[in-house]
Chain A
Amino acid sequence: MSDLLLTLLLTLDATLRVSSPLILAAMAGLFSERAGVVDIGLEGKMLAAAFAAASVAAVFGSPWLGLAAAIVASCCLALLHGFATITHRGDQIVSGVAINILAAGLTIILGLAWFHQGGLTPALNNESRFLSITLPYVEQLAFIPVLGPIYKELISGHNILVYVAFAVVPLVWWVVFRTRFGLRLRAVGENPKAVDTAGLSVIKLRYQALIVGGILCGIAGAYIGTAYNAQFTRDMTAGQGFIALAALIFGKWRPLTVMLACLLFGFLDALAVRLQGVQIEGFGVIPVQLIEAAPYILTVVLLAGFIGRAIPPKAVGTAYVKER
């Protein structure tokens, strides 16, 4: 029994690690899309941020400087997206794809030029990374059945950015649904004309949303580059930006459900890793490919049958034109 509990806890523990960047990126997407700007460039922003974080941390030896650099890099790309789509009313998908391509190429070129390791950054030592934190009283509380191990294995022992990711979710909920800024943000994504008529700047609000998204993507990138791993490698975000985007739709653009969607994807990923080669009674070993496909199959099934229609913010994807 306790073995099973431990296995479950370790799987959930992995779920938290895998989900954290997804949650941060999905929250970034939530801000942007709630304001009416499609953000397909999450992947590129995370990649650029991961590169910036790993480079700066390698050169200056501080993960915090790395994090700052990641946020700056990600915000620069967010502003570029804004400049193309808000100021110049360009197509949001095209601009987002361009950002992904730009980030993929630029990280390698800059890495080549700066570090001469073919687009990799130097490996970070422990002082220049975000390391796991052991929460207080872990050993003292370990004797409590069930709760003790949960505290020790599941809640304690993550790096600080994991805790940040989960703290961000209620914060995002509060900002989007309980503040004046949030109300305006949602309005600008549903009916920008009304916001404009009320005397508020649609352009300014959308830029603000993109900057918030840029900051969150920056944290996600720093997590991937300097906490989860210890150096930048080519294309290391490996499609997580797109998974975050799927989670955003899956969770219907609401912070709590989006977080649950991210956790579900993370859990399936963690489970897939642990189910490999496991014998199932009367079934034999499940093929790796089937386990790997499981998250996608489940997504399709859930999307098709269970969660109902996902309705995006009404004005998403269209540039705001003040006068015709």
Chain B
Amino acid sequence: MKLTKITMALAAGAVVLTASIAQADISPAVVYDKAGKFDKSFNEAVFNGVKRFTADTGISVREVEPTNDAQVEQGLKKLAKRGSSPIVAVGFSQANAVSAAAQAYPDSKFTLIDMVVPEANVQNVVFRAQEGSFLVGALAAMKSETGTVGYVGAMDIPLLAVFGCGYEQGAKHINANINVLHSFIGSTGAAFANPSKGGEVARSQFESGADVVFAAAGSSGVGVIQTAADMGKLAIGVDSNQNYLQPGTVLTSMVKRVGEAAYQSYAAEQNGTWKPGFVSMGLAEGGVDWALDEHNRGLVTADMEAKVNALKAAIIAGELSVHDYMSDNTCNY
């Protein structure tokens, strides 16, 4: 045990040494959001990116897991004070805290995921979630036998409406007459961590005739996926690849590569190419995607796979444009 630790440390040290010859030595950090880094979804995706960066470069990443709003700002400022940079802030709810920390520590670099704050030392990474949602919506429509599919968001906020709107467009693209149900779990942050309510909302959609439900709701989505499995219906996961949660009843997952965003932000700092401002990641940049693996292989026919990939290629090529809810706060496409 001890020996392996020492060997690992030595190996890591060697990697750092070789890396530091070519690249700058950085001291990166990350502040997760309140759902915690193992939410099987959003934060876990960031954590996996962080882990991969450490594995690739041997550079360890400081982590803060806040349990309330006050700790977010404290965490950001403490990391900046200790000289960590860039500091990745996970989630839209950290916007105000990032803004405050960025002003207090103008020499530190911050990367904010999923939201935009106009500071000179903040890189804002946003995802074109509508593109990935379009693909899973199209797949849902292909798979649906009842002609009704559902979308369950945690809260009725623009960020999540983007998912629902993209999903609806995808579903309607395949079947113009399809009925798309939209429901929300709650109106506070607690809606992201209430699997019982998530399951109940999903159940009401299944009982209204939906046979595929897409959940964008943090760990509440686990309840949606569980309910789909209990009722023998299909669910679509979000953020991380959640196909493995209930193999056979998770149709696919709308993967948002937030881990990639964290990884690239650190890597850019290492290469000296980190820039403040606005970074948009969609299908073309590999920022969003749909997930196909051994757990949902049996649910997706070769024909469906080909169709979804054709849509993906069309979006990347710019032949098919997906309306972004955020651009005008409506879903008129």
Contacts and interface: CB of A to CB of B under 8 A. Distances in A.
A277 interface: yes
A292 B187 contact: yes
Given A273-B201, A273-B204, A233 B37 contact: no
Nearest to A224: B196
Interface in A198-223: none
A276 B199 CA distance: 15
B184 to A, nearest CB: 5
A236 B37 contact: no
B203 A233 contact: no
B207 A10 contact: yes
Interface of A: 10, 14, 17-18, 108, 117-120, 123, 224, 228-231, 233-236, 238-239, 269-270, 273-274, 276-277, 288-289, 292
B83 interface: no
A14 B203 contact: yes
A288 B190 contact: no
Interface in B29-46: 35-40, 44
Contact of B38 (A117, A269, A288, A289): A117
Contacts of A234: 35-36, 39, 193, 219
B223 A229 contact: yes
B245 A123 contact: yes
A292 to B, nearest CB: 5
Contacts of B305: none
Interface residues of B, number: 32
Given A236-B194, A289-B156, A118 B200 contact: no
B38 A229 contact: no
Interface of B: 35-40, 44, 156, 181-184, 186-187, 190, 193-197, 199-201, 203-204, 207, 219, 222-223, 226, 245-246
Which A-B residue pairs are the 5 nearest by beta carbons? A118-B38, A238-B194, A276-B183, A233-B219, A273-B204
A118 B190 contact: no
A234 B187 CA distance: 18
Nearest to B38: A118
Contacts of A276: 182-184, 201
A118 B39 contact: yes
A277 B181 contact: yes
B322 to A, nearest CB: 22
Given A10-B207, A17-B200, A119 B36 contact: yes
A288 B200 CA distance: 16
Contacts of A231: 222, 226
Nearest to B220: A233
Contacts of A273: 183, 197, 200-201, 204
Given A234-B35, A236-B196, A238-B196, A288 B156 contact: yes
Contact of B196 (A10, A117, A120, A229): A229
A236 B36 contact: no
Nearest to A112: B38
Contacts of A274: 204
Nearest to B156: A288
B184 A288 contact: yes
